[in-house]
Amino acid sequence: MKATIYHNPRCSKSREALAILKETPGLEVEVIEYLKAPPSRETLKDLFQRAGMTAREGLRIGEDAAKPLKGADDDAILDAMAADPILIERALVVTEKGVRLGRPPEKVREIL
């Protein structure tokens, strides 16, 4: 099986999720450093839908750039994430079994 992780190496939770993936026997792991190679708005929308989340639930609210999005709808949040990927909560993990936000990191086990 293959797993893709949208990863930020500076984030401890993202590093923990990646470690779980790397420790899983037989799992091929693709690492996308999303700050260097941001997903498109359409990709984000698809990932959140597949994870059963709203864009707001995937928003990293602790970032200063998230403050203006307090009352925004999902379309505006997706636009903002596409323009500034630091707003994407991490880590997002994709396998053939689904998509999970690794918060807490152990949630990625649900799709392994």
Q: Which of 4, 11, 13, 16 is catalytic?
A: 11
CATH class entry, domain 2-111:
alpha beta
Q: What is the pLDDT of residue 56?
A: 97
Distance (Å, rounded) from C-alpha 24 to C-alpha 109? 9
Q: In what order do the strands lie in the sheet with 92-95?
A: 28-33, 2-7, 92-95, 98-101
CA distance 90 to 71: 22
This prediction has a pTM of 0.94
CA angle in degrees (0–180, nearest 5) for 7-13-19: 70
Phi, psi of 5 (to 5 degrees): -120, 130
**What residue segments make up the domains of the chain, in order of their start?**
2-111
User: Using one digit for the tens of pLDDT, what is the confidence trace for 8-60?
Assistant: 999 999 999 999 999 999 999 999 999 999 999 999 999 999 999 999 999 99
Residue 11 annotated to the active site? yes
As a whole number of angstroms, the distance between CA 11 and CA 77 comes to: 21
Q: Can you give the pLDDT at residue 9?
A: 96
